[in-house]
Structure 1
Amino acid sequence: QLEWLDATLAAAKEDWVVVVGHHPIYAETSKDDVERLDMQRRVDTILRRHRVDMYINGHIHNFQHIRMKDSGIDYITNSSGSLSRKVKPVEGTVFCSSEPGFSILSASPASLELRMVDKHGQVLHTVTRTK
């Protein structure tokens, strides 16, 4: 799978490159740290090499937007429509919330926007990238 990801990203010519996976690379969670360290070592290395714009994951059931100082990637954890878990800021946190909800991703040649929306339809946080 890692070889496939590397080859697919190497061939990508799109205006924006967004990778979606289930498990987080960077996130605040009580779940297994070893898993995230493995994701950082194996997956994040590939994403950075190919200058991916955004990585979106689930798994944790809360909203998180993390931007590490040494990376140009926006790391997004999407909440869930039901069960949510408490969250607190960690290194690189731009935004976090334990509200249940969903995200909306919009793209044009000039901009990429992700809106984190709570269960009442209110936008909690917006991530905007422009070229």
Structure 2
Amino acid sequence: MAIIAQLSDIHLAAGRDGEVDDGSGPVRALRAAVSSLLTLPARPDAVVLTGDLADGGLPAEYARLHALLSPLPMAVYPMPGNHDDRDALRAVFKDHPAVAATGTGPQAPLQYAVDVAGARLVCCDTTVDGHPHGHLDEERLRWLDDTLAAAPDTPTIVATHHPPYPIGIRFIDDMRFVDPAGFAAVVERHPQIVRVISGHVHRGSVGSVGGKVSTTCPSTYRQLFLDLTRPGRAAVTGEPAGFAIHLVDERGSATTHFVPTGNYRPLMDVE
């Protein structure tokens, strides 16, 4: 069984001096998330970071991110969100073979596929330069289709930053995955896909795309207020930070758990 942890929307931010304050909220929150992962009884086989890793897309933010993730003994797979800069992210994570192989042109899409304990993780780049919304153009959709076709018998998780289904929170849907029909058509063509996972929403949710279960991940930092009215209030809440754990078994069945950050211990045995 493959166990893949998902951390998202970390938003490390540099101050006026260009450095990331070690006492800042995002830093403390990421340390807590890393600590929580390390205390799980079954450690994940890999960790995927589904975008908005930095707040301003600055090299110092990615350098601090890289250092804060260093206690994790498993492979870590970063991908960009609308707050990220692909080139700065790629430069700092150049020691990751999958990232290093994603291209050398300015702002080339940062997308790749890796094998994880008998499953496959396909990381898509839905970012649009200079804009908060997401999109996969024909070239990126062709890459996704070809990548999936290369391993039709391997249970696969497809990761994006922008979710490919409506969330119901007005200002998040204003920054939506634009024209997801092409993406849905590709997903529907490949039955080995067991889950589509995304970030961007700063809270857990479950939807569907192309006949597959699709989920979003809590933020390791701040959660968004669940206001489903119109126009709704754009606000953060005091809800606990968190992350997601995705299990993929040998039969190609997938299960997702949403985990609040914290080192929770068993209170009592129940059997």
TM-score when scaled to structure 2?
Answer: 0.37
**After the TM superposition, which residues 31-110 of structure 1 pair with which residues of structure 2 at under 5 Å, given as runs?**
31-33=172-174, 35-38=176-179, 40-51=180-191, 52-67=193-208, 71-87=210-226, 99-110=240-251
Larger Rg: 2
- Distance, in Å, in 1 between the alignment partners of 2:227 and 2:194 is 24
Give 1:81 shift: 1.2
Counterpart residue number, 1:92: none
Contact 2:162/2:199 (<8 A) preserved? yes
Provide the alpha-carbon RMSD of the alignment. 2.4
Q: Runs of at least 4 residues of structure 1 off by over 6 A?
A: none
CA positional deviation for 1:34: 7.2
5+ residue gaps, structure 2: 1-139, 229-238, 265-271
> TM-score scaled by structure 1?
0.70
Native 8 Å contact 1:27 1:64 kept in 2:
no
**Contact 1:81-1:102 within 8 A present in 2 as well:** yes
Identical-residue share of aligned pairs (%)? 28
Equivalent in the alignment of 1:128:
none
Q: Match for 1:13: what amino acid?
A: P
Deviates more, 1:54-63 or 1:43-52: 43-52
- 1:35-61 CA distance string (max 9 Å, x none): 4341x2121211112132210000110
CA distance in 2, matches of 1:49, 1:104: 25
